[in-house]
């Protein structure tokens, strides 16, 4: 869809933020990025194509950890560069010979 040189231009535009492109908040959505690609590069693409393009270049979706009432909207950004969500580690460290959680304690 976009060459590496054009994607570098798109990244510079994305780093400026949505407000610099006339959006009312600081959230990049796939449809907003799709519109930006259409206006800036005169190319049309699907929302799924935009998602694949961003993932291919190291961008990931940021999902809010808190409900909308509890979070600070200025911190939430729809798509961010270089942030990979990591799965949480195990609740309890397993060691060789440790009993499983469902087994009652030895007497």
Q: What is the pLDDT along the chain (107 residues), one digit of tens a residue?
A: 789 999 999 999 999 999 999 988 888 899 999 999 999 999 999 999 999 999 999 988 876 666 655 555 555 556 667 655 554 555 555 566 666 666 556 55
Number of H helices and number of E strands within the chain? 3, 2
| φ, ψ of residue 3 in degrees (nearest 5) | -70, 170
User: Collapsing DSSP states into helix, strand and coil, what is residue 49?
Assistant: helix
Domain ranges for the chain: 4-81
User: And the tokens for 104?
Assistant: 């009652």
54: exposed, middle or buried (Cβ count in 10 Å: 0-12, 13-18, 19+)? buried
Q: Which residues contact 49 (CB under 8 A, 6 or more apart)?
A: 1
pTM here is 0.61
């Amino acid at each position: 869809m976009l060459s590496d040189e054009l994607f570098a231009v798109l990244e510079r535009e994305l780093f400026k933020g949505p407000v610099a492109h006339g959006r009312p908040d600081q959230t990049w959505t796939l449809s907003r990025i799709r519109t930006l690609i259409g206006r800036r590069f005169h190319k049309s693409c699907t929302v799924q194509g935009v998602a694949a393009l961003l993932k291919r270049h190291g961008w990931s979706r940021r999902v809010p950890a808190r409900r909308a009432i509890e979070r600070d909207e200025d911190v939430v950004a729809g798509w961010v560069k270089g942030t990979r969500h990591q799965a949480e580690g195990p609740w309890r460290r397993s060691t060789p010979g440790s009993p499983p959680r469902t087994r009652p304690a030895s007497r």
